[in-house]
C-alpha cells in the first residue's frame, strides 16, 4: 500500500517510509538537475549574446535559442517545482469520471 492510500490517522510502515524517501530523493534530483540546466542556459546564451555583440550583426539572432531553449527550461522548472506525483486518489477520481 502506498502512502497515498492511507488516511493521516494510520501509522506509517517502513514500506511507506521507503516509498516516501524514494519520492523525496527523485524530487531532490529533479531540482538539482533544473539548477544545472539553468546555469548552462545562462552561460551558453550569455556567450551567444557576447558573440552577437562583438560581430555587430543588426538582427538580434540570440533571441532564437533564448526563446526555444527557454521553453525547455520552463518545462524543466515546472517538472521540478510544481508538478506533483499522481496519487491513487487522483487515479480513482479519473476512473469515476470516465464511468459517468
- pLDDT per residue as tens digits for the range 43-60: 999 999 999 999 999 999
Q: Rounded to an integer, what distance in angstroms lies between the CA atom of residue 69 and that of residue 59?
A: 19
Alpha-carbon distances of 74 from 17, 37, 71, rounded to whole Å: 31, 10, 5
Q: Rounded to an integer, what distance in angstroms lies between the CA atom of residue 80 and that of residue 91?
A: 21
| 15-52 residue pLDDT tens | 778 888 888 899 999 999 999 999 999 999 999 999 99
Q: Rounded to an integer, what distance in angstroms lies between the CA atom of residue 41 and that of residue 58?
A: 23
pTM over 0.85: no
**Domain range summary for the chain, segments of one domain joined by +:** 14-99
pLDDT of residue 6: 47
The answer to whether 17 touches 52, Cβ cutoff 8 Å, is no
Amino acid at each position: 500500500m502506498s502512502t497515498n492510500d492511507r488516511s493521516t490517522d494510520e501509522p506509517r510502515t517502513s514500506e511507506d517510509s521507503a516509498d516516501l524517501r524514494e519520492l523525496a530523493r527523485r524530487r531532490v534530483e529533479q531540482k538539482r538537475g533544473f539548477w544545472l540546466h539553468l546555469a548552462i542556459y545562462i552561460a551558453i546564451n550569455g556567450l551567444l549574446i557576447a558573440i552577437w555583440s562583438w560581430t555587430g550583426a543588426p538582427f538580434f539572432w540570440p533571441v532564437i535559442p533564448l526563446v526555444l531553449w527557454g521553453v525547455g527550461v520552463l518545462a524543466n522548472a515546472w517538472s521540478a517545482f510544481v508538478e506533483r506525483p499522481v496519487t491513487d486518489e487522483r487515479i480513482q477520481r479519473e476512473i469515476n469520471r470516465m464511468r459517468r
